[in-house]
Structure 1
Amino acid sequence: MNGDRPRPRPGYATEFADEYDRWFGKRRTSGTTIEALAALAGEGPVLELGVGTGRISLPLRERGIDVHGVDGSEAMVRRLHAKLGGDRMPVTVGDFADVPVTGDFTLVFLAGGTFFELPDQSSQLRCFANVAEHLAPGGLFVFDSHVPEALAAATGPEIVMEGDNHLVLCYRRLDPSAQRYRSHYVIHEDGGTRHLRVEFRYAGCGELDLMADRAGLRLKERWGDWAGAPFTRDSAHHVSVYERP
């Protein structure tokens, strides 16, 4: 798993939408995520919050899984709908904290650290509660994130993508007093450099479990990555699987 992958909101969504898959759609990472979600999907239907360009949901649909999506960026949704088969995928444009859809789902998920794009505890609690309202009995709510302690200990920039004519770097700046961090993306390509910023509000596993409990969900499993590695004291990321009893 590669930690947070920005799902652009209005203001910088158009710029990210055209490049998102090339920069962040790493085949091995996406493939592992898709395999895990396919195993969790059950009979469906399935809902992805922050569906973005559909890099996860469209391959799931190719497997015959009935996947729906929610995203706050019209530019990202246009990109999704322009892909092969994307025009047949139902997507609602709106705030995913509100889960603005109808019906029940066997699986609701987010990938790439997207849950922490919700700007505060209130919106994160609202997301948990609204997801619970849309889960079938025994349904699952699944997402990945950084372990905050590991995020705080990280030093130096991360190379997101590099090639002969381009380089994408990510540097994260934490503000523990507000449980927030900012990801700075520096993109050097074709002789020019761009600087994009994405804001996140993080929470530790204990706080997330309390949010789930308030929504009537319980922790079923927690992995160290999408491949199902054990979650240990050395894990830098986690995948949390919550269940509606």
Structure 2
Amino acid sequence: MDDRDGYFGEPIAATYDDSTDSEFSRETIEKTAGFLAARSGGGRALELGVGTGRIALPLSRRGVPVHGIDLSRAMTARMRAKPGGDRVEVTIGDFATTRVGGGFSLAYLVFNTIMNLTTQDAQVECFRSVASQLDPGGRFVVEVAVPDLRRLPPGQDAVPFRVSGNGWAYDRYDPATQAMSSNYLTVTDDGRGRRRSIPFRYVWPAELDLMARLAGLRLSERWEGWGEEPFTGESTRHVSVWEKPAG
């Protein structure tokens, strides 16, 4: 793995789009692109963590010019190889601090990507960076999970989320620091084990609202998902929209 790619080098990029997670289904992708296009205001969009173009490409096909920021050259190379990949501009860098200039009516982060920023300071700086690049009236959309701490009994810090005959996957939480990690254990055909761990920082909806306020943005919408289902106390994720005042 090229260290410049962080945790998403070529071994991950090569199979990233093969995921069977519902986020990668055609229905979810089109619903996501439709939600974002409806809030683009006819302007340009900035995707933070553009990756292999799972959302950027269908959004671009809807007539929304997209500029992406990503740390992984391997992931963005996969996007470039796809039909229409050359129409998405890409800047390689840390999306918490990388600025590509203003003129965006929409910025967005999908599929828990805000948690790839593993400190509160980095998450706050991300909101500030986005706000500085949004036009007045522009919107910042974030899709992220609600922390699943209710599944942790006293003394336990891990929650499994996938178990199969040749592998296990689990999340580990530290409630004192909001640090977490997703861990994957895979047993190969020769009986050897392989472990991969990706660090995150989980974040609460109210905490994100405060970060937005510090950046001069205000909450305008919050839904459970891209289909605009109501957000409730039982929701396991949310799609939130903050707006930059027009004045």
TM value normalised by structure 2: 0.86
Q: Give the equivalent residue in structure 2 for 1:15.
A: 11
Judge conservation of contact 2:5–2:73 (CA < 8 Å) in 1: no
> Any idea what the Cα deviations from partners look like across 1:197-228, whole Å, max 9, x if unmatched?
11111121111111111100001011111211
Query: Aligned match of 1:153 in 151, 154, 168?
Result: 151
Asked if residue 170 in structure 1 is aligned to residue 169 in structure 2, the reply is yes
Asked if residue 212 in structure 1 is aligned to residue 208 in structure 2, the reply is no
CA distance in 2, matches of 1:209, 1:55: 26
Asked if residue 228 in structure 1 is aligned to residue 221 in structure 2, the reply is no
CA distance in 1, matches of 2:142, 2:188: 32
SS of residue paired to 1:157:
strand
Q: Give the equivalent residue in structure 2 for 1:113.
A: 112
| Residue identity in the other structure for 2:194 | R
CA distance in 1, matches of 2:172, 2:33: 30
Distance apart, 1:77 and its partner CA: 1.0
CA distance in 2, matches of 1:78, 1:182: 26
CA distance in 2, matches of 1:122, 1:227: 31
CA distance in 2, matches of 1:123, 1:90: 24
Distance apart, 1:32 and its partner CA: 2.4
* RMSD (Å) for aligned C-alpha atoms: 2.3
| Residue identity in the other structure for 1:66 | P
Q: 1:96 to 1:168 in 2, by over 3 A?
A: farther
CA distance in 2, matches of 1:15, 1:230: 38
Runs (5+) with no aligned partner, structure 2: 153-157
SS of residue paired to 2:42:
coil
Runs (5+) with no aligned partner, structure 1: 1-7
- State the structure with more CA Rg: 2
Question: How many pairs are equivalent?
Answer: 233
Asked if residue 87 in structure 1 is aligned to residue 86 in structure 2, the reply is yes
SS of residue paired to 1:96:
coil
Matches within 5 A, 1:174-193: 174-187=173-186
Q: 1:54 to 1:187 in 2, by over 3 A?
A: farther
Distance apart, 1:85 and its partner CA: 1.3
What fraction of aligned residue pairs are identical, expressed as a percent? 46
Asked if residue 102 in structure 1 is aligned to residue 132 in structure 2, the reply is no
Q: Give the equivalent residue in structure 1 for 2:135.
A: 136
Q: 1:30 to 1:196 in 2, by over 3 A?
A: farther
Bigger Cα displacement from structure 2, 186-195 vs 30-39: 186-195
SS of residue paired to 2:200:
strand
> Any idea what the Cα deviations from partners look like across 1:21-65, whole Å, max 9, x if unmatched?
101523333232222112212212001000000000001111111
User: 4+ residue stretches of structure 1 with deviation over 4 A?
Assistant: 166-169, 187-193
SS of residue paired to 2:128:
helix
